[in-house]
Amino acid sequence: MPDRPFHHTLAVREDLCQGCTHCMKRCPTEAIRITGGKAHVNPERCVDCGQCMDVCPHDAIVIEQNDFQQIFGYRHRVAIVPSLMIGQFEDEVAEMDMIGAFHSIGFTHVHYAEFGVDILKTLGNKISVYADAHPVVSSYCPAVVRLIQLRYPTLLPNVNLMRTPAQITALYARASLEAHGCAPEDIGIFYITPCAAKYAQIKTPGSATSGLIQGGLNLDHVFNLLQRDLAKNSDRTRKGTPTWESPAITGPAFLWSLTKGESSMMQGRTLSVDEVHNVIEFLELVEDERHENLDFLELRACDTGCTGGILTPRNRFLATERIKHHAA
């Protein structure tokens, strides 16, 4: 593992922490200890999975938040939106309304992050993976990749070396704008993140995402901005105001971030494991070389996949249901 600083996005507010031990008991990597009646996080063990934040009854664990106004430092403002965003809204909110709201709050271009899946499939007529060892482990979840780096370094050769869909989409968005004459310095690409780990990946210097994407925006904050805009402009479509073009994406790609969404598009024998404690249990088996006949492992730190991210406001099962209906 490269010896470089890792940017952690979760922090403990000591003024709110009661030392109740909920976070310590839930942490899958034993990164939290109670000292002097307050929780303290060991950065050498933390993988930014967000389990601690999820169970804290005092809201004492918070995630770093960038100022939304940073997007206006660029002339061309691109939102890379995970497909799970549509699942955060009730069924009566149409996709076009959501896309229109993204433009209304300040973005000039909107792309689904999973569009990168379709680009990969178009280029190779299949979803390509590459690693130095088998089974190949998905690199989609940065919390899992960080977990492997810290606790299972012998499995690093198994991690997929191909870029993630969001990274490919970011490359496409920039190349497309530059091809139309946009100056590189005028293009700002922002990922709407459902979890702390993806935000940490963007903020960590030298990571595969830093540089490709100019900033991360917390999904729950952006969702609230969209909701506010939709409430103010509920009759936007009826009045004939601009009808925004839907970002191109296929149904299977739309399901990528859900449990089994990625593995269902892979060749050979695949397996999907979600929720970080389950992932750790299975990685123990893989490290012991007890499952060498597997070809691909889809591992997600969050329950149900990214719909279980700590920055997703809607119940993960209802969100998953809507995403599947939309993909169909």
Which conformational region is residue 296 in: left (phi greater than 0), alpha (psi within -120 to 50 degrees), or beta? Answer: beta
Percentage of the residues of the chain whose pLDDT score is greater than 90: 78
Q: Residue 46: is its pLDDT beyond 50?
A: yes
In sequence order, the 6+-apart residues with CB closer than 8 A to the CB of 191 are: 80, 113, 166, 170, 198, 202, 209, 213, 215, 216, 217
Q: What is the pLDDT of residue 73?
A: 97
If one compares 278 and 209, the residue with the highest pLDDT of the two is: 278
The confidence band for 1, taking pLDDT boundaries of 50, 70 and 90, is very low
Q: What is the pLDDT of residue 125?
A: 61
The confidence band for 123, taking pLDDT boundaries of 50, 70 and 90, is confident
Q: What is the pLDDT of residue 6?
A: 80
pLDDT (tens digit per residue) in 213-255: 999 999 999 999 999 999 988 765 544 455 567 788 999 999 9
Start-to-end CA distance of the chain, whole Å, equals: 40
Q: What is the pLDDT of residue 107?
A: 97
The confidence band for 98, taking pLDDT boundaries of 50, 70 and 90, is very high
CA pair distance 312, 306, nearest whole angstrom: 8
Arithmetic mean of pLDDT, 42-60: 95
If one compares 94 and 125, the residue with the highest pLDDT of the two is: 94
Q: What is the mean pLDDT of the chain?
A: 91
Residue whose C-alpha is closest to residue 28's, from 122, 152, 153: 152
Q: What is the pLDDT of residue 2?
A: 44
Q: Residue 128: is its pLDDT beyond 80?
A: no
Q: What is the pLDDT of residue 238?
A: 45
**With helix as H, strand as E and coil as C, how does 300-315 read?**
ECCCCEHHHCCCCCCC
Percentage of the residues of the chain whose pLDDT score is greater than 70: 93
Residue whose C-alpha is closest to residue 26's, from 276, 240, 292: 276
Q: What is the pLDDT of residue 240?
A: 47
pLDDT (tens digit per residue) in 63-76: 988 899 999 999 99
The confidence band for 305, taking pLDDT boundaries of 50, 70 and 90, is very high
Q: Using the 8-state DSSP alphabet, how is residue 86 labeled?
A: G
The confidence band for 4, taking pLDDT boundaries of 50, 70 and 90, is low
Arithmetic mean of pLDDT, 159-167: 92
